[in-house]
Amino acid sequence: MRLKRRTKEEQTQGPVVLVVMDGVAIGRRDESDAVHLAHTPTLDALSQGMWTTLRAHGTAVGMPSDGDMGNSEVGHNALGAGRVFAQGARLVQEAIDSGAIFDGNWQNVTAHCKDKQSTLHLLGLLSDGNVHSHEKHLHAMLRQAAKEGVKRARVHALLDGRDVPDRSALEYIDKLEAVFAEINAQEGFDYQLASGGGRMLITMDRYEADWEMVKRGWALHVRGEGRQFASARDAIETLRREYPDANDQYLPSFVIAKDGEAVGPVVDGDAVVLFNFRGDRAIEMCRAFEDEDFTPFDRGTRPDVLFVGMMQYDGDLHIPQRFLVSPPHIERTMSEYLCHEGVRQFAISETQKFGHVTYFWNGNKSGKFNEELEAYVEIPSDDVPFEERPWMKAAEITDETIKALRSGTYQFLRLNYPNGDMIGHTGNMQAAIQSVACVDLCLARLLKVVKEVGGVALITADHGNSDDMFERDKQGQPKRDENGNPKIKTSHSLNPVPFYIFDPKGHKDYQLSELDDAGLSHVAATVFYFLGFEAPEDYDPSLVTPA
């Protein structure tokens, strides 16, 4: 797999730097838009030069519909692959619609539970955010399990408040309870919720940033250890009174109990399905269930269960071993092509987004394509609430990238500033404004060195977030609370993202391409253009063409 070179006269002499400003899109430029409200002289200057907007949601990034917001997984897949692949949300829904999901390992699960007269456990994020999971997938599996004669099931629900409105958990609990009631109306069936808690406190850690989250989830879901309540509604309403400042993603965990005994610990002979389809926040719990030599925490006696994931989250490491739906098969990514051409590459972010510029960028593959040509740098993230340090590790990321630029070693460098996304998810408007201003300040430092070394910088985002901090009604107007204040939104936006070209040598040799509905997948061919290569024929075309 080789790339065709453009003429030497058309090639960029210096390095090409791709900057991903996570969660920074083009908003309404009003009071809801933290990007607009931030002090951003660097972005303002870039908007006076050559730039365009890109679609970063819906079908442009492989989601089922254009009503689906984008996210970091699908955004970085599209950026790195240069093409649009059907993503987990779409693949799972198609498998449910066709019934294919209920073949193969699903049959092993239901047969296992019936043969051993054991419990089916379903663990995952309970919402319709369609970023990590969707409640309708869970409902379909519960109904199918009952149809196939599985008499007993327990759901372990991670509360969202991040990809959906921040205090919407009871809406999803009520719908789940309605499914339980429907199934339990049949004689001999016992389906109920067993445990729950905020996704940012338990279970859904990623990139080994905080194994304590997984340890807490293991104790809760598997061992049934936690504060006990008679029902999920009782738990959520009580915990909201006790922790009035905690939205759903940070709500303390709970166990549903009867007569002082947890109703749903995982025991020998049970089956467990992790129903999230996105991999980054699922891998660690998979390892806790599957790894023989497991050292991150003391899990005690591991129950002998049949464990299955919704998808295989890491194809290289085969995590998990059993899964229901095959993941997108992404091959021939930009980095793989560049390695074949001998191009030295540098990728960096802090822990919270490190896998986005490596694992997701490379098509959901762990490791490097070429150890000699690629350098990956992870800056450890702080273990504090994100809104308390909205600057995160942007300065350190910038420092290391500047060192890499001045070394003259790398021809292509990519980095992710997590601030706009991670702070946007907190719902803290002032912190979000500061986070965007911090990214702008770091960009100013970085672009100065790009100019110094004779390079080109391409600045974009993987999706929106801080650009739209208010919940909206069907007419697009902000929803209001009982005091008349706008309701804060913590999920991603559907807004387009910017694509700025910073080229100190000027733009006389090229111009923006005339493309309809260009998206993130067009960035890869653009990087190839500036590196002096023609993109493969099946890649989405470059955002620039020769003048």
Residue 474, pLDDT score: 83
User: In the numeric block, which tokens belong to residue 420?
Assistant: 């706009």
Question: Which residue is listed with tokens 């209920």?
Answer: 102
Instruction: Report the C-alpha gap between 245 and 248 in whole angstroms.
Output: 10
Which residue from 329, 293, 288, 294 is spatially nearest to 311, judged by alpha carbons?
329
Residue 309, pLDDT score: 98
Judge whether 135 lies within some domain.
yes
CATH number at residue 442: 3.40.720.10
Residue numbers of the chain with a pLDDT score lower than 50:
none
Q: Are residues 313 and 435 in the same domain?
A: no
Q: Are residues 441 and 300 in the same domain?
A: no
Instruction: Report the C-alpha gap between 210 and 203 in whole angstroms.
Output: 10
Judge whether 8 lies within some domain.
no
Q: Are residues 165 and 71 in the same domain?
A: no
Residue 30, pLDDT score: 95
Number of domains in the chain: 2
Domain finish residue from 291, 325, 359: 325
Residue 13, pLDDT score: 66
Report residue 540 CA to chain centroid gap: 23
Judge whether 106 lies within some domain.
yes
The per-residue pLDDT for range 28-55, each reduced to its tens digit, is: 999 999 999 999 999 999 999 999 999 9
Q: Are residues 341 and 418 in the same domain?
A: yes
Through-space distance between the first and last CA atoms of the chain, rounded to whole angstroms: 28
Q: Are residues 93 and 75 in the same domain?
A: no
Q: Are residues 405 and 511 in the same domain?
A: yes
CATH number at residue 129: 3.40.1450.10
Judge whether 463 lies within some domain.
yes
Domain finish residue from 296, 325, 354: 325
* β strands within 66-115, DSSP E: none
Report residue 274 CA to chain centroid gap: 16
Judge whether 9 lies within some domain.
no
User: What three-state secondary structure class fits 93?
Assistant: helix
SS (H, E, C) 202-270: CCCCCCCCCHHHHHHHHHHHHCCCCCEECCHHHHHHHHHHHCCCCCHHHCCCEEEEECCEECCCCCCCC
Judge whether 4 lies within some domain.
no
Residue 9, pLDDT score: 58
Is residue 75 within 8 A of residue 536, CB to CB? The reply is no
CA distances in angstroms from 347 to 314, 327, 334, 440, listed in the order given: 20, 24, 13, 20
Q: Are residues 232 and 292 in the same domain?
A: yes
DSSP secondary structure code for residue 465 in this structure = S
Report residue 455: phi and psi, to 5°.
-100, -170
The per-residue pLDDT for range 84-103, each reduced to its tens digit, is: 999 999 999 999 999 999 99
Q: Are residues 308 and 428 in the same domain?
A: no
Range of the domain at 538: 16-87+329-546
Q: Strand 254-258 and strand 190-198: pairing?
A: antiparallel
pTM for the full model?
A: 0.90
User: In the numeric block, which tokens belong to residue 97?
Assistant: 């619609």
Residue environment code for 83-103, b if the CB has 16+ CB neighbours within 10 A, otherwise e = bbbbbbbbbbbebbeeeebbe
Q: Strand 497-502 and strand 456-460: pairing?
A: antiparallel
Judge whether 270 lies within some domain.
yes
DSSP secondary structure code for residue 174 in this structure = H
Instruction: Report the C-alpha gap between 32 and 80 in whole angstroms.
Output: 31
Which residue from 149, 124, 143 is spatially nearest to 134, judged by alpha carbons?
124
Residue 294, pLDDT score: 97
Q: Are residues 160 and 282 in the same domain?
A: yes
Domain finish residue from 325, 341, 375: 325
Q: Are residues 336 and 394 in the same domain?
A: yes
Instruction: Report the C-alpha gap between 170 and 178 in whole angstroms.
Output: 12
Q: Are residues 413 and 343 in the same domain?
A: yes
Residue 8, pLDDT score: 63
Q: Are residues 78 and 161 in the same domain?
A: no
Which residue from 424, 327, 417 is spatially nearest to 18, judged by alpha carbons?
417
Indicate left, alpha or beta for 510 from its phi (over 0: left) and psi (-120 to 50: alpha).
beta
* β strands within 270-409, DSSP E: 271-274, 306-311, 323-325, 345-350, 374-379
Judge whether 127 lies within some domain.
yes
R_g over Cα of the chain:
24
**Mind telling me the catalytic residues?**
72
